[in-house]
Chain A
Amino acid sequence: MVKAEVVVTLKKSILDPQGSAVEKALRSMGYSVESVRIGKFMEVALPEEARENAGAILEEICQKLLANPVIETYRFQVVE
């Protein structure tokens, strides 16, 4: 089985009110924090037969579904 980890984050130009809320909470807890941005982490497992083509498949599913290219960027790596 091919295991990949995908991380999807908001583009830098996009406001992240959730991240800001967490940032404020950390500061009120006494931590000095410059900024917090929140993204998504996904684990995608593909069948072993897909190993050779895994990069292309992951690229496609990230573009089509896992990330919205209008507002998000993505990166992935095969970990197993």
Chain B
Amino acid sequence: MKIGIIRFPGSNCEVDVWEAWRVLGQEPDIVWHQETSVKGYDLIVLPGGFSYGDYLRTGAIARFSPVMEDVIRFAREGGPVLGICNGFQILTECGLLPGALLRNASLHFRCAPQYLRVERADSIFTSLYREGEIIQIPVNHGEGNYAIDDAGLAELEANRQVVFRYVDEHGQANAAGNPNGSRNNIAGIINLAGNVLGLMPHPERVVEEIIGGIDGRRLFLSLIRAWERRMQHGA
């Protein structure tokens, strides 16, 4: 599987993402944002960080980087795109995912392990998880407060587009388990077509026991499995 991890000026998690894929036997590329084509890639990752210093709004300027026109084309043609943290912010700014990410309601930057509930195991990103499973993946953000209007929220929930939800240690999606004030404790969402996922937590940080956990592994492994299946069917 050819994996392209986009590096914007200010991205700082692209190497962690690269390392996570390598731990799982893959050989990803880091793609500089000035590239104008992502042709040949089977998966694009938009990593975390502070692209363009978060100037104006998080992800607002990265969204117009030269590479993004082709990433958007790739996504609209069904190519898998994974946006992590700043990557999720960029995906909402592009309109590839609905809603927006605002400043954490508490105004505190949150860097801590976080319990999540996997709401759907029937996506290319989560097929190796169990629906309802509680996992722990760290968050590391000051602007992870997911906002959307009432109509948009109703649609998201009705269409089962919420893939990960913030929960407390008992698996309850309540205020105590919500690190940033996100509506309905939304931590990660998928588009209607099922090929674009954005999430605020950092799965690449929990792929080896030695660094504190492995709950992130299965997100990457699910994507590998989905690609292998596509290859078998001669897609």
Contacts and interface: CB of A to CB of B under 8 A. Distances in A.
B107 interface: yes
A11 to B, nearest CB: 9
B149 A13 contact: yes
Given A65-B56, A68-B57, A14 B107 contact: no
Interface stretch (A15-23, A29-37, A43-51): A15-23
Contact of A71 (B104, B107, B147): B147
A71 B100 CA distance: 7
A66 interface: yes
A70 interface: yes
Contact of B147 (A14, A21, A40, A65): A14
A18 B99 contact: no
B100 A17 contact: no
Contact of A17 (B60, B61, B107): B107
A49 B183 CA distance: 46
B34 interface: no
A68 B105 CA distance: 19
B100 A70 contact: yes
A71 B56 CA distance: 13
Contacts of A70: 92, 98-100, 147-149
A18 B107 contact: yes
Contact of A15 (B61, B64, B181): B181
A21 B107 contact: yes
Contact of B105 (A17, A40, A65, A71): A17
B208 to A, nearest CB: 35
A24 to B, nearest CB: 11
A68 B103 contact: no
A15 B148 CA distance: 11
B174 interface: no
B180 to A, nearest CB: 10
Contacts of B56: 40, 65-66
B64 A14 contact: no
A12 to B, nearest CB: 12
B32 to A, nearest CB: 22
A65 B64 contact: yes
A40 B181 CA distance: 22
A15 B107 contact: no
A8 B57 CA distance: 12
16 contacts: A15-B102, A15-B105, A17-B103, A17-B104, A17-B105, A17-B107, A18-B103, A21-B107, A65-B56, A65-B60, A68-B93, A70-B92, A70-B98, A70-B147, A70-B148, A71-B147
Q: Which 5 A-B pairs have the closest CB atoms?
A: A70-B100, A71-B100, A17-B107, A17-B105, A68-B57
